[in-house]
Amino acid sequence: MNQLAAPNPPKSRPPRRRRAEKRATSLFANGEPMVWLTGGALAIATVMIAVLLGLVLFEGLPTFWPGPIVEVELADGRRLAGELAAEERFVLEPKALADLPEARRAQAEREIETEGGVRRRMLRTGNYELTGTHFEWANDSDIVGESKPEWMLVVERLDDGRFYGVPRAVTVDGVRTEGDPATVWDLASAQHDEVRERWERGRTLKNETIGAIHARIEGARLRAREIELENGVDSPQAAEARAAADAIATAAESEFREVQAEINKLQERNKGYSVELETASGARRMITLEEIVRAFAPNRLSLTERLGVYVSRASEFLLDAPRQANSEGGVYPAIFGTVLMTLIMALLVVPFGVLAALYLREYARPGPIVSAVRIAINNLAGVPSIVFGVFGLGFFCYIVGAGVDEALFAAKLPTPTYGKGGLLWASLTLALLTLPVVIVPTEEALASVPGSMREGSYACGATKWQTIWRIVLPRAMPGIMTGMILALARGAGEVAPLMLVGAVKFAPDLPLDGAAPFLHPERSFMHLGFHIYDIGFQSQNSEAAKPMVFTTTLLLIALVVLLNVLAIWIRARLRRRFQGNTL
């Protein structure tokens, strides 16, 4: 019987994965590449910031640490002594290598082969009035002897920079005494504090007492000039005012002679106190004790004494005025000027920025004009800062300031009062510069306030302004503070506009003092950013100023961080307060 063959059963196929499952296993679908990309970008940015801060800390913190003094004897017979400032390696030219003695030539060839070059060190030798230089290079191939002299002093002076020498003689009240370095320096140290007190007394008399006398004379002259402008030069009132001014000048002249005689007496007495130092080259120099700010023998200091010198130098840096073309001394006027200018800028820019953002968000009707204003604000944030400086100089100084001088200070003309760079014009210029930084975050903060809160306020019968003042602004305050924080950070670090509208190289007189009107917004001021530029690129002694560049940079960063932390703390308190009210 024929049987029909049964057909082969179909082969079972594995179930196909759904397309959705394939997508789920894709790295791009999970977003892992973007996670790595964004995380890597954050890590790179963090490392760059850490490296920058690490470099500033590494170069800035050791600035005030007293290093040892090295004395070297060169093959040509010269002797150099100073603090190690830098070192590097270089390859000697064949002729210079061939001219070396055999032993030193072999040593130099070994160093070139193994280390890549011969080492040379830069020593801060000081003694500028004797050598005409502050630093000298010493090649190891030229050094035939090296030591660390125990009694080689570092003498930090008011002028002419540092001096390095061994004390050989001291003059006390006109009596000269010679002896060993320890005895001489003990005698000089015992008199130094008293001499410096007399010097401080003389400086106070010169700057404050004589300054007050000149201010009194100038005030009388200006009053007489004002009366002349009001009533005429030949009027009886003008003649009476001139007579009163002459009487004040005559009385002040007598007082001036008395003060000047006291100053001369103090200076003459201090001339009898001095110390004679011998340099490494054998030259001798007499230095009066009143010139010496600080002196010590680094090679004899213990760790505790080194820390004392470090603290003393750091305190001077923070609390004193600069000296020696800003390469030494302190930066207190620059700290004060930076903080005061930044605070005035914040007081000016925040109200105007908030009012502008309020109008744009709450009152202005959407349209081409409002859109153009927003575009202009956003573009204003990208304008180079030097353009704002030129605008501030031309508008605030030459137009507004000149008008103020003509209206209120005509007696002082042609000497300008407000018609030049000053603290007020610098603050206004930076307020314009940072205005977009305040407007944009403020407008976003206003927009983030829920509309239901506005509607609830209107339902309770509040007006639009009452709603803005009591409901919208308090809840937008953290965003407004964010804008102020950004403005503080931007304004405190700007330099280019300030060079045109008020910041100067040296201004030891603060724009705030104890005499009326107390705040002097017309005065020029010092700024940390401009101070960094000046000592880094305009100093006659760039090598000596290099450590101060990093130290001042570190101080400016710390100051900006401190201002920002204060603003962030206020913002956090406001956020907690209004979030609690919302709950």
Measure the CA angle with vertex 131, ends 129 and 132; round to 5°.
70
Please, are residues 391 and 397 in contact by the beta-carbon 8 Å criterion? no
Query: Does a structural domain hold residue 322?
Result: no
Same domain for 392 and 510? yes
User: Do 564 and 418 share a structural domain?
Assistant: yes
Residue 378 lies in a domain: yes
Q: Is residue 256 part of a domain?
A: yes
Helices (H), 116-235: 128-131, 181-204, 210-231
Judge contact between 124 and 507, C-beta under 8 A: no
> In this structure, are 481 and 361 located in the same domain?
yes
Residue type, 558: A
> CB count, 10 Å around CB of 207?
12
Q: Are 341 and 433 in contact (CB under 8 A)?
A: no
CA distances (Å), 547 to each of 60, 186, 194, 543, in order?
6, 31, 31, 8
| Amino acid identity at 55 | L
Mean pLDDT, contiguous 10-residue spans, the chain (583 residues): 49 53 55 81 93 90 91 90 88 81 81 84 90 88 89 91 93 91 93 94 91 89 89 88 90 91 93 94 93 94 94 92 82 92 92 92 88 88 90 93 91 89 93 92 90 88 89 88 87 88 87 75 91 83 79 90 85 73 49
Q: Is residue 97 included in any domain, yes or no?
A: yes
Q: Where residue 155 sits, what CATH number does that domain have?
A: 2.30.30
> How many Å is the Cα radius of gyration of the chain?
35
| Among the listed residues 306, 330, 285, the one whose alpha carbon sits nearest the alpha carbon of residue 155 | 285
In a domain, 468, yes or no: yes
Q: Is 84 helix (H, G, I), strand (E, B) or coil?
A: strand
Sequence length of the chain is 583
Could you tell me if residue 27 is inside a domain? no
What is the predicted pLDDT for the residue at 308? 94
Q: Which domain holds residue 496?
A: 332-582
* Helix, coil or strand: residue 323: strand
Any idea what DSSP says for residue 511? S
Does 137 lie in the same domain as 196? no
Residue 292: per-residue pLDDT: 94
Residue 434 contacts residue 351 (beta carbons within 8 Å): no
Answer with the one of 241, 268, 296 that is the final residue of a domain: 296
- Of 296, 318, 340, the last residue of a domain is 296
User: What is the torsional sign of CA 332, 334, 337, 339?
Assistant: negative
How many Å apart are CA 499 and CA 421, to the nearest integer? 9
Query: Could you give the C-alpha distances from 194 to 270, 274, 561, in angstroms and in order?
Result: 9, 13, 40
> What letter represents residue 174's amino acid?
G
Q: Which of 97, 130, 163 is the last residue of a domain?
A: 163
Question: Domain check: are 464 and 339 in the same one?
Answer: yes
**Distance from CA of residue 530 to its chain's centroid?**
7
- Residue 354: which CATH number? 1.10.3720.10
* Edge-to-edge order in the sheet of strand 118-124: 135-139, 118-124, 79-90, 69-74, 143-147
Q: Domain for residue 35, yes or no?
A: no
Same domain (yes/no): 560, 471: yes
Would you list the DSSP string of 124-157?
E---HHHHS-SEEEEEGGGEEEEE--TT-EEEEE
Statement to judge: residues 385 and 472 lie in one domain = yes
Write b or e for each residue in 121-130: b if 16 or more Cβ atoms lie within 10 A of its Cβ, otherwise e: bbbbbbbbeb
SS3 197: helix
Residues 368 and 276 in one domain: no
> Could you give the CA distance from residue 528 to residue 334 in angstroms, rounded to a whole number?
5
CA distance 181 to 189: 12
The tokens describing 261, both together, are: 């005689």
**pLDDT value, residue 442:** 92
Dihedrals phi, psi of 462, to nearest 5 degrees: -75, 150
Q: DSSP letters of 285-309?
A: EEEEGGGEEEEE-GGG--HHHHHHH
Q: Kindly report, residue by residue over 511-549, the tens digit of the pLDDT.
A: 877 666 678 889 999 999 999 988 888 777 777 778 888
In a shared domain, residues 271 and 237: yes
Q: Which two tokens stand for residue 571?
A: 């913002």
Q: In terms of domains, do 190 and 159 share one?
A: no
484 part of a folded domain: yes
173 and 158 within one domain = no
**Euclidean distance between CA atoms 313 and 156, whole angstroms:** 10
Query: What pLDDT does 2 receive?
Result: 46
- Number of folded domains that form the chain: 3
Tell me: do 433 and 481 sit in the same domain: yes
Question: Among candidates 497, 344, 527, which has minimal Cα distance to 433?
Answer: 497
**pLDDT at residue 1, as a whole number:** 42
